[in-house]
Chain A
Amino acid sequence: MQQSVTLEAPAHGVPAARDIPLAEEAAEVFLTLSVAGQLCGVPVLAVRDVLGVQAITRIPLAPAEVAGSLNLRGRIVTAIDLRCRLGLPPRDSGEGARGAMSVVVERDGELYSLLADQVGEVLPLPRADRAPNPPTLDPLWREVSRGVHRLGERLLILLDVERILAIG
C-alpha cells in the first residue's frame, strides 16, 4: 500500500539531529528536497521515512500550513505543506495531480510529514561551508533556516525541523 521510497534505516532509534553537538561534527548529512523550485535540506537523522504520494485527509479549521493527515503503517501523521509554511505559492493543479512527496519526521513522539515537490539525495555537507542566513532574508525564512549552503549553481536552505513544526 505504501509506495515508500524507503530510507528509514538510519532513523530508527537514533536521536534526532538536534541532540548531536553540531559544533563537533565536521559534516552533517542532509536530505535535499525541493519546494517550488527552492532547494532545501533537512538533517537526515531527523527523517524517519520518505513516502511517495499519499492520500491525505483534510482537517477542517486547522492552520493553513496543515495539509491534513495520513496513515503511515497504522500511525497518524500530520502533513505540513512546506510551500504554505514557507510562504510560497501553492502547487497549481497541473503539478498537483502528481501530488507531493512526504518526508516524515518525529517530534515529541508525534509524526509529521513535510510535503515537498521532490525529494533529492542524501548529501554530507561540511559545516565549514555553511553560511549564516543573509540579513536580508525574508523574516519568515530566517525563522526556519539554520543557514545556507552553496551547492553548485544553487543555494540550499537548511531547514530547522523544530522551527518548521512550531505552528500556531
Chain B
Amino acid sequence: MDDLLADFLTETNEGLVALDAALVRLERTPEDAPTLSEVFRIVHTIKGTCGFLGLPRMEAVAHAAENVLGRYRDGALQVSQGGVSLILRALDAIRGIVSELEASGAEPAGDDLPLIAALNGAAAGGGVPAPPAEPLDAAQPATPPGARAEPAPETGAAPPQTIRVSVEVLEDLMMLVSELVLTRNQLLQLARNGADGAFAVPLQRLSHITSDLQEGVMKTRMQPIGNAWAKLPRLVRDLGVELGKRIELEMRGAETELDRQVLELIKDPLTHMVRNSGDHGLETPQERRRAGKPETGRITLNAYHEGGHIIIEIADDGRGLSIERIRAKALVQGLATEAELAAMPERDIQRFIFHAGFSTAAAVTAVSGRGVGMDVVKTNMERIGGTIEVRSQEGQGTAFIIKIPLTLAIVSALIVQAGSERFAIPQIGVVELVRVGGEGNGGPQLEHIKDAPVLRLRDRLLPLVSLAGLLRLDPAQAASAAGESAFVVVTQVGPHAFGIIVDRVFDTEEIVVKPVAPILRHVTMFSGNTILGDGSVIMILDPNGIARATGVGSEAVDAEAERGRARPAAAMLSDARTALLLFRAGDATPKAVPLGLIARLEDVPREQIETAGRRPLVQYRGRLMPLVPLSGPWDPAAAPARQQVLVFSDGERAMGLIVDEILDVLEERVAIDGTGERPGYLGSAVIGGKVTEMLDTAWWLRQGGEDWFGGATALAGQGRRVLVVEDSAFFRNLVVPALGAAGYAVTAVADAREALRLRDAGAGFEAVVSDITMPGMDGYDLARALREGGAWRDLPLIALSGRAGPADIERGRLAGFTDYVAKFDRAALLESLRQCLATATAA
C-alpha cells in the first residue's frame, strides 16, 4: 500500500503541474477542446485514484472540480476566469492535502465545504438546469476503483515508459563514463604512437561504443529547461489577476537542455525573477496606455546554448530601472558617494540592484519587495559558477541575462601551445585556423597598427590577441614574438570575430570539462580544466573570457540581449561596440572610421603617387587607384616621403584615403552627435576619452570619383528596427552605419538562412532590406519564403541590387519585394525605407 501511495503522490504532483499550465491555456482559449479534455482527464484520474486509495477528502474536492469541468466540456457552461480561478483553488487544496500526505502518510482531517459549495455553485450557475449536485458524502466512492486505469485514448499520447532511478546512481555512472572516456583517449594515443594494427579495429569499436555510452549517460542527466518553467504560466496568471495587470508570458527555447542538478538550483531564482518582472517591471494597463504601449505587458523567457554555457534571458517590456531612484538609494545606503555616482556609467549604477537589501520597490506587495532581492538570486547563480547581468532602459524594459556554465560536459577541443604551455580551446568557438608568418611562402603576415597586432583576412582586418602575452607566459619561449611562424585561431564571440595568436596547434580531442578549483575561479580566462589522453592536466580557454579581458566585443552579449533578440552568429548591430581605426589628418582632432570598412593600410612612397587632372593616383595591384587626400588638395612638394593610405575596396574597385598618421585601434560603442556636421563627417563622438570626428565613408568614396553612392539625406529613422541581409561584408559595413546614422536600429546578417533563423527565433523588425545575389538562398527566394507566412509576412521588403533594370524590378515585385533600390543609392534606400515604413504604419 505504501508503494502504491508513493506512486500516487508522484503521479498526482506531476498531474497538478500539468494542470496548472493547461488551465491557464484554457482560460486564454476557452474553445480549445483538446486542452479541456486533457484537464478533465487529469482531474478525473486524480479523483478516481483517491476513491481507490480511500482518500475521501481529496476525492470530494476533485469531484466537485470535475463537475465544473464536465459542464465546460459538455458546452453547458462558458469557461470563465472566475471558474478557472475556482478550479485552481481546488487544485491548491488538493496540493495541500498531498503535501500533508507526503509528510504524514495519512489524509489530514478537515473539510473543504465552502470550496466545494462554491464549485457546485459554479457548476449549477450556468443558467442551465443542472442535475442536482450529487451528495458529497465523503465516504462514498464516486467512481469505481477501476477508473484509475482508464486510458485516455482521445489524447492519443501514451505516457512514455519510464522508471525512476536515484540520482546518485546516475552521478556515479557519469563519473565512471568520464573516466572511461579519458582511458579511451589514452588508449587511442598509445595506438597512434605504436603501429600495432591488430588493436586498431577493436579499439575503433571501443571508441564508438564509449562515445555512444557517454552521450546516453549525459542524456539521462539532461532535462529541458521547460521543466523549470512549467509553473510559471500559472504564476504569471495569478500575478496578473492579483495586480490587475495584463501579462503575457512568452517562453522560448524551453527545449534547451541542461544538467538536472543545475536545473534544480536555478528553479527558485528564476521564479523569483519572473515574479519581480511582473510585479515591479510591468506597469498597470493605464500606465502602459499613457506611455503609448500595448496594454498587455510582456515577459519573455529565452534560453539557448552558447559556447559551453546556457544563457537564460528574462526580459520584460515594462518601465525599466529608474537610474535616478537607484542612485538616490545607493546614496542613502552609503554604497557610493555622490561624486562616484556621477562618474559611474549607467550599467554600473544598475548593478546596485544586486546589493543585499537593495530594493527600489516603493511598496512591499504580497508578491515581492520583501527583502529577498536580487542579491539572493545573484549569490545563488554565483554558487553554481554562473553570472547575472542586467540591461535596462528606462521606459523600455528590463532584461536579466543569466549565464550558467555546463558544469559537467564533454566537448571537442583544439589543443594549442603558447609559450611552453598547452591549452584547450573549445571547438565550438573556433571558426578557422590561419597559419601566419614563415619564410617567404606568401601567406598572410601579422601586422601591427600602433602596437595592436592585426591580420588581414580576406576582406577584413581581424584584431588579434597574443595568448602568450595575455596569459603573461614567458615571452622568450613564445615563438610568435621571435617572428617565426605562428597560428591564428579565429574565434567568434557573439558578433565579434578576433584571432588568438598561438605558437603551435596540435590535435583536437574530446575532453571532459571539469570546473577549476574555487581558488582559481577569478581567472576568467579559463572555463575549466581537463585531463588529456596522455594523462597531463590542461587548462581550457574561455573565448568569452578572453574577449572580455581584451575588450573585443565585451558588450556583445549584453547589447543584443537588451533588445531581447536571438543572436545570429554574424549579426552586427549599430549600437554594439565597433572596432574603430583612429587617425590624424589635417587638423589635430582625431578622426575615426570603422575598422571593418578598411581593406588594407598602405604605406605609399611619394614618388609612386602620380597626378592626373590634379587628382592623385597610384598604381596599385596592376590598376590605377584614385587617392583622396583628407586634408585639402594634395601637394607633392609638401608631402612626406611616405604617405599613409587607407584603402577601401570592393571587388575590383579600390580607393585610397590619404591621412597623416595612424593613431590607434579602439573598441567603442559609437554615439554620434550630429551637431556641427561638416561635409565628409557624420559628426563627432567621444572615443577613447577624446572628441573624435567620425568619417562619412560614403562621402569620401564619392570623392574617389566612382559613383558608389547617390546623394545623402539624413532622415530620422526613429530607432525603427531594420534587418539588412547582405553577403558582402563591404556593403554590409556601408549600409549598417549609413542606416544607423539615419536613426535606424540595424541588424545585419550575412545570408538569407540566417535571416530566416532570426525570424523563427522570434526577432522583430519593421522592415527588411535584402541583397539579391547571394550564395545559397538568393534574395528572391528569401522574399518568397518571407511572404509565404510567419511573423514577417507583411513586413516591407526592400531589394538592394546592382541590377535595377525594369525586368529585374518586375521580377522582384513578383517575388514579393515592396521596393527595389539600386545598390549604391543611399538616398534612394533611405527614401524607400521611409516610404515603406510610413505606408506600413498608416495601414
- Interface residues in chain A, defined as those with a beta carbon under 8 Å from any beta carbon in chain B: 1, 55, 57-63, 66, 68-71, 74, 76, 78, 108, 110, 112, 165, 167-168
Q: Which residue of B lies closest to A2 (CB)?
A: B535
How long is the Cα–Cα vector from A1 to B535 in the complex, in angstroms? Answer: 9
Please tell me if B637 contacts chain A, counting CB pairs below 8 Å. no
* B290 proximal to A (CB < 8 A): no
Within B150-195, which residues are at the interface with A (CB < 8 Å)?
A: 178-179, 182
Contact partners of A165 in chain B: CB under 8 A: 519
Q: Which single member of A55, A59, A108 contacts B536 (CB below 8 Å)? A: A55
Asked if B539 and A76 sit within 8 Å, CB to CB, the answer is: no
> Are B519 and A69 in contact, with the CB atoms below 8 A?
no
**Residues on the A chain within 8 Å of B535, using CB:** 1, 55, 71
- Complex: chain A residue closest to B523, CB-CB: A61
A71 to B518, CA, bound (A): 17
Q: Taking CB as reference atom, which chain A residue is nearest B549?
A: A61
Is residue B260 within 8 Å, beta carbon to beta carbon, of the partner chain? no
Taking a contact as CB atoms closer than 8 A, the residue among B473, B522, B529 that contacts A69 in the complex is B529
| Bound Cα distance A61, B526 (Å) | 10
Selected contact of B537 from candidates A66, A70, A110, CB within 8 Å: A70
CB-based nearest A residue for B467: A60
- 28 A-B residue pairs with CB within 8 Å: A55-B535, A55-B536, A59-B539, A60-B421, A60-B471, A60-B472, A60-B539, A61-B471, A61-B523, A62-B520, A63-B519, A66-B520, A69-B529, A69-B539, A71-B531, A71-B535, A76-B514, A76-B517, A76-B529, A76-B530, A76-B531, A78-B517, A78-B520, A108-B518, A110-B517, A165-B519, A167-B519, A168-B522
**Given the complex of chains A and B, what is the CA–CA distance between A62 and B525 in angstroms?**
10
Which residue of chain B is the closest to A63 with respect to CB atoms?
B519
Task: Decide yes or no whether B538 CB sits under 8 A from chain A.
Answer: yes
Q: Is the CB of A74 within 8 A of B519?
A: no
Interfacial chain B residues near A58, Cβ < 8 Å: 421
Of chain A, the residue at the smallest CB distance from B418 is: A60
Q: Give the one of A58, A66, A108, A112 with max B CB within 10 A.
A: A58
Cα-based distance from A70 to B523 in the complex (angstroms): 18
- Is B536 touching A61 in the complex (CB atoms < 8 A)? no
> Chain A's nearest CB lies how many Å from the CB of B829?
48
Determine how close the nearest CB of chain B comes to the CB of A24; give it in whole angstroms.
31
Which A residue sits closest to B531, measured CB to CB? A71
A66 & B531 in contact (Cβ 8 Å cutoff) = no
Binary per-residue interface labels of chain B (16-41) against chain A in the complex, 1 for a CB within 8 Å, 0 otherwise: 00000000000000000000000000
Q: Which of B510-534 contact A (CB under 8 A)?
A: 514, 516-520, 522-523, 525-526, 529-531
How far is A57 from B523 in the complex, measured between Cα atoms in Å? 16
Other than the given A57-B539, A110-B518, 18 more pairs (CB < 8 A) read: A57-B536, A57-B537, A59-B520, A59-B539, A60-B471, A60-B473, A61-B472, A61-B525, A62-B520, A63-B519, A69-B517, A69-B529, A71-B531, A71-B535, A74-B179, A74-B531, A76-B530, A168-B519
- CB nearest to B532 among chain A residues: A71
Q: Which residues of A contact B179 (CB under 8 A)?
A: 74
User: Which chain B positions have C-beta within 8 A of A112?
Assistant: 517
Q: Contacts A60-B421, A60-B472, A61-B525 given; indicate if A71 touches B520 (C-beta within 8 A).
A: no
Inter-chain CA distance A112–B520, complex, in Å, is 12
Residue contact B537 to A69, C-beta cutoff 8 Å: yes
Q: Residues of A contacting B519 with CB < 8 Å? A: 63, 66, 78, 165, 167-168
A166 nearest in chain B by CB position: B519
Q: In the complex the two chains form, what is the Cα distance from A168 to B519 in whole Å?
A: 7
- Which residues from B are CB-within-8-Å of A108? 518
CB distance from B242 to the nearest CB of A (A): 42
The residue of chain B having its C-beta at the shortest distance from the C-beta of A168 within the complex is B519
Minimum distance in angstroms from B645 CB to a CB of chain A: 39
User: Which residues of B (694-719) have their CB < 8 Å from a CB of A?
Assistant: none
CB-nearest residue of chain A to B422: A57
Give every chain A residue within 8 A of B518 (Cβ-Cβ).
108, 110
Distance between Cα atoms of A71 and B530 in the complex (Å): 9
User: How far is it, in angstroms, between the C-alpha of A66 and the C-alpha of B535 when the chains are bound?
Assistant: 20
Kindly list chain B residues whose C-beta atoms are within 8 Å of the C-beta of A74: 178-179, 182, 531
B473, B517, B525: residue with the most chain A Cβ atoms closer than 10 Å:
B517
A108: nearest residue on chain B (CB-CB)? B518
**Are A71 and B536 closer than 8 Å at their CB atoms?**
yes
Least CB distance, B185 to chain A, in whole angstroms: 11
A1 to B186, CA, bound (A): 13
Instruction: Give me the 10 closest cross-chain CB pairs, A-B, nearest first.
Output: A60-B471, A78-B517, A57-B537, A69-B537, A61-B523, A167-B519, A74-B179, A71-B531, A71-B537, A110-B517
User: Which residues of chain B are within 8 angstroms of A66 by Cβ–Cβ distance?
Assistant: 519-520
Bound-state CA distance A125–B529 (Å) is: 39
Q: How far is the CB of B217 from chain A (nearest CB, A)?
A: 16
Q: How far is the CB of A90 from chain B (nearest CB, A)?
A: 16
